[in-house]
Amino acid sequence: MLLGNDRRVMLITSRLQQHLRTLALSVAMLGPLSCALAESAPPRWTPMGATVFKHMPAPLTNTMAQDSRGFMWMGTQSGLIRWDGYTQRLYTADSKRPRALPDNFVRAVHVDSHGNLWAGTSSGGLARYDPVSDDFTVIGTGAGGVSDAHVAALADDGAGGMWIGTANGLDHMDAAGKLSAVTATVLPPSGRGSAIRTIEALLRDRAGGLWLGTREGLLYRAPNAAAATAVGLDAPINALFQDTAGRIWIGTRNQGAFMIPAGELRAVPVVESGAHAALQKQRVVAIAEVSPTEIWFGTEGDGIVALDPGSGITRRIRHKPDVADSLSDNDTYALFRERSGLMMVASTEANSVYDPRPQAVITVRDTGLPVDGKLSVPSVLVRPDGKIWMAVGGGGIDIVDPRAGGIGRITAGEPGGLPTGRVITMANGPDGNVYAGTQQGLFRIDGQSLRVEPVQIPGRSVSAASWAVAFQGNVMWIGGLDGLWALQAGASGAAAPLLRHEDARLGDSRVTTLLALQNGGLWIGTRGGLVFLPSAEGSLEVVPTDMGSSDRLLPGFTSSLALDRQGRLWCSTFGRGVQLLERTDADGRRRFRRIETTHGLPDNSVNAVLADHQGTMWASTDMGLARIDPNTLTVKALTEADGIHIIQYWTNSAALTAEGELLFGGLTGLTVVRPDRLATIAYRAPVVVTDLAVGDQPVAPGRYLRDASGAAAAALEIKPEGKERGFSLEFAALDYSASERTQYTYRLVGFDSNWIPTAPGSRRLAYTNLPPGNYTLQLRAATRSGEWTPPISLPVHALPSWHQLTWVRVLAGLFAVGVIASLMRLRIAWYRRRQAELESVVAQRTAELRASQVMLEQLAYADPLTGLPNRRLFGDELRRMRAQAVRDKTSFTLMLIDLDHFKQVNDTLGHDAGDALLVEVARRLRLCVREADQLARLGGDEFAVLLSNTGNSHDADQVARRIVDSVAEPIAFGPHQMRVGASIGAAAFRSELANDEALYKQADLALYQAKSAGRNTWVWYRAEEHAELAGN
């Protein structure tokens, strides 16, 4: 369906109305100063930028705080949780322990000015956490206690004490810990006072004033005042927050959010922008400042409202069922900005973390236009007017304004439009039109009316797939699986004259990418390599490939081509990394430089290579993005810490905007890179000890580590009677954004000579059988920039046993000298008698050791369920057969076998039935293969067979047929008859294959086709049939 004039007018009108609402909101909320800001357009990509979260399961969280050491504390309805980025430790009420948490329902968590952590509970009063003893001091009701057991809000008083909001009014605790009820009253405009009752929220502002959120409305108590003043907001108050600009933000139960300008007592409603504004009727339960330009309001049932206080523009952050890293659900109960700048979000189903610090990368997963499933961008094009055309995976093209979002769509599958299937490539024509190469032909799209018409090429099917389009003067070059075509640019319909067609002379007629040079030359990428055409009428130069030479072009799928500022050609290849044409010798020999995973690329399957405005080269791969310095050729892979949230990208889906942004089309969205904003986050997360045990007895780490700096309060004593005479502990660097990537080292000074790195994912160490003496345990973690944090230290004192005391050792030595002299003769005689016995024992134990080694080898290489060789032995055998085939110039076949409907058996009859089925299938497979063949279980319901000496496919087909027929026979399990099938993918080894993984991938692709073909069959890998699937 085309975007006609009427629809364009309606779209523009809708956009105008939306901006007018935003402008009105800004003027009303922020006054005349914001008018100029409201008139400006939002920053580029803001309407479409995804807010990406990492989730962790947690009970329903009501409140959050971060203590002085860096731990996150979460008050839930099931207790108080301490989180270190890895493990949640739950503290719960226990009537048998007087220093336990008094109530599981935690309403408020607060860290006071002294660093103490306080928890206000629903029915148990107030509790202070003691990190030394790892328990709580409870303050209940009654004499010296709080005025009510329901404590919902806590706030500092600015003098070392604390304000306490209860169901019975306001309490105060002074710096000495003395509690008193505050007989504060409310002075409404009438001047008649009334007592303050239930308090739901407290906020002490920077001027010392106290804001009280109650069920009856909002109150303000000036510094040193005895009474509070009603602000004029009568809605029940849920949340209070002061931002860095001094503004007070209020969340209500049923009237949305309000803002009070700094120094005023006038509440202004926050009005949501957009056509479907609903904030003013919703419940706002949490408020936080992401940055000075963004305030978040957590709502109940409708996600998060993000507000730019300067412009008044808002956007909704909601859960999206088809996007795993979207908001976990739309019920938001708590928001908290962690010390390093991370945003913590508590929802019904999980607690989530959002990192707003990376500013260089934007992830687009939603353009604002309807999409069926996830957004996928197989091709992207920047138009001269700055608009972005994005091919979408389901067919068609979305037209996007980086400042406004999706503004139009060219749909597929309707009369007069694009055909169904992907748009593989797009190019701007010199006539102002867009030329779109699709899986079903080449199409011209009018740049103004968006009218679509097919481009007819003489001698070529109108529905032939077009993979590449390039313009050069008056020539339009088209590349497809049927070769290279040249048309006169600007000609239309059947009148377009054919200037040239090449296929066989390309070496590989499957053209995948084109690069037109200003000097009239043309580089042509194919699925087999690279071709150069010096001019439209010149002769083709097929660049020779050579697997054995380090400076020659490797054969393979060329996915994209680009020139750097030095005029060098960069070729991205699928499976071969990046190949740089460094120079051409006088004799015409092309010299290449390879950049692969060994140099830092995330993956050797490179989908596109692109130069930014500074000349730096960028590569998109099947495992993320990488930046390549064109001078040093050093590679820096971008990770999640840099803002990368799309891993796999489409072949040759890349573009550069006039603003310097790099666009990469991915399988799950669009990645926008702003290279000038790349920066390393320098936050150094504190390293803490989270659990400690002496021998087998747990102790509180706080007894030995006084605070976050790691300064020791006392030495850890290891007593000789302790089990195993040692200690163990767990530790963590409190970096909640990248805890799984943090590296650690440790050493025990006085025992270890070097730093000891931990295994990936391990945060535990243990020392046993320590000799008596004084030691110092040191721990450190690596930052994102690779620097090590200053180590924390824990003194350790290992006490000696009685027999290790000095005087005992002296006496023992003297006694030993006398005894040794008298026993020497007896010793020699005994030794001679025992020599023969020992020799016999040694021989026996040697035999036992050999038998044990054989058993261990069987355990290491055998599947314990079926007795078949496992994946490890299979890999060894595959390498051996490949080496033998290369040496003897023979062939063998790899078959991957996957059981059909195995999951259904497991789900209906249970895992015992599934195990019995696997054992029986293994028995049948042994009967189907030859003695010289190698059968293995790779895991789950997947098996593999290596068929030796298969010079033709007939022998392998017979084996495959026997396997399919045998597995299809029913298998009895009790009263049940289990039925499964076998899908088989087969691939024959060829000497040109680069490695074992290539053969495995071919068999896997054939297995995938066998599954797609209806299962219970076998399919051979055919290069011509699977090449497109492997490349895209």
CATH number at residue 897: 3.30.70.270
- Residues 522 and 655 grouped into a single domain: yes
Residue with more model confidence, 156 or 989? 156
* Residue 52 main-chain phi, psi, to 5 deg: -100, 130
| pLDDT digit string, tens, across residues 886-939 | 888 888 899 999 999 888 988 898 989 999 999 999 999 999 998 888 999 988
Q: Is the pLDDT of residue 153 over 90?
A: yes
Q: What is the CATH number of the domain that holds 768?
A: 2.60.40.10
pLDDT at 705: 67
d(CA 926, CA 963): 9
d(CA 292, CA 290): 7
In a domain, 664, yes or no: yes
Q: Is the pLDDT of residue 114 over 60?
A: yes
- Residues 884 and 855 grouped into a single domain: no
What are the percentages of helix, strand and coil residues in the chain, rounded to 5?
Answer: 20, 40, 40
- Clarify whether 94 is annotated catalytic: no
Query: 10 pLDDT band (50/70/90 cuts)?
Result: very low
Closest among 142, 188, 191, 190 to 168, alpha carbons compared: 142
Query: 713 pLDDT band (50/70/90 cuts)?
Result: low
Query: 1 pLDDT band (50/70/90 cuts)?
Result: very low
Average pLDDT over the chain reads 88
For residues 169 and 133, the answer to whether their CB atoms sit within 8 Å is: no
| pLDDT digit string, tens, across residues 998-1019 | 888 988 999 999 888 888 999 9
- Residues 775 and 841 grouped into a single domain: no
- Residues 740 and 715 grouped into a single domain: yes
Q: Is the pLDDT of residue 709 over 70?
A: no
Q: Is the pLDDT of residue 185 over 90?
A: no
- Residues 442 and 584 grouped into a single domain: yes
The whole domain housing 88 covers: 56-234
pLDDT at 703: 74
Residue with more model confidence, 846 or 810? 810
Q: Who's near 809: CB < 8 A, 6+ residues apart?
A: 803
**Of 134, 157, 366, 941, which is the active-site residue?**
941
Q: Out of 200-204, 859-863, 881-885, pick the least confident.
A: 859-863
């299962």: which residue's tokens? Answer: 1015
Q: Who's near 825: CB < 8 A, 6+ residues apart?
A: none
Residue with more model confidence, 830 or 629? 629
- Residues 770 and 815 grouped into a single domain: no
| pLDDT digit string, tens, across residues 351-410 | 999 999 999 999 999 998 887 778 999 999 999 999 999 999 888 999 999 999 999 999
CA distances from 59 to 75, 76, 104, 109, 726 (A): 9, 6, 11, 15, 36
In a domain, 12, yes or no: no
- Percent of the chain's residues with pLDDT above 90: 64
pLDDT at 674: 97
Q: Is the pLDDT of residue 861 over 70?
A: yes
Question: Of 818, 842, 861, which closes a domain?
Answer: 861
> Which range is most confident: 96-110, 312-326, 841-855?
96-110
In a domain, 247, yes or no: no
- Residues 853 and 938 grouped into a single domain: no
Cβ atoms < 10 Å from Cβ of 441: 22
pLDDT at 135: 95
Q: Is the pLDDT of residue 16 over 50?
A: no
Q: Is the pLDDT of residue 31 over 50?
A: no
In a domain, 325, yes or no: no
Which of the 8 DSSP states describes residue 869? B
Question: Of 202, 234, 266, which closes a domain?
Answer: 234
pLDDT at 1029: 54
In a domain, 548, yes or no: yes
- Residues 791 and 826 grouped into a single domain: no
In a domain, 49, yes or no: no
Q: What is the CATH number of the domain that holds 160?
A: 2.130.10.10
| pLDDT digit string, tens, across residues 246-300 | 999 999 999 999 999 998 999 999 999 887 899 999 999 999 999 999 999 999 9
Q: What is the DSSP string of 501-565?
A: EESGGGSS--EEEEEE-TTS-EEEEESS-EEEESSTTS--EE--B-SS-TTSBPPSEEEEEEE-T
- Residues 406 and 484 grouped into a single domain: yes
Q: Out of 57-61, 78-82, 102-106, 840-844, pick the least confident.
A: 840-844
Q: What is the pTM of this model?
A: 0.73
373 half-sphere exposure, CB direction, 13 A CA radius: 8
Question: Of 206, 234, 262, which closes a domain?
Answer: 234
d(CA 1007, CA 1021): 9
- Residues 833 and 919 grouped into a single domain: no
- Residues 880 and 835 grouped into a single domain: no
Residue with more model confidence, 493 or 982? 982
d(CA 501, CA 496): 14
In a domain, 339, yes or no: no
CA distances from 222 to 212, 565, 815 (A): 11, 64, 84
Query: 326 pLDDT band (50/70/90 cuts)?
Result: very high
Q: How many domains does the chain have?
A: 5
Q: Is the pLDDT of residue 750 over 80?
A: yes
In a domain, 956, yes or no: yes
d(CA 271, CA 291): 20
- Residues 444 and 532 grouped into a single domain: yes
| Mean pLDDT along residues 445-449 | 94
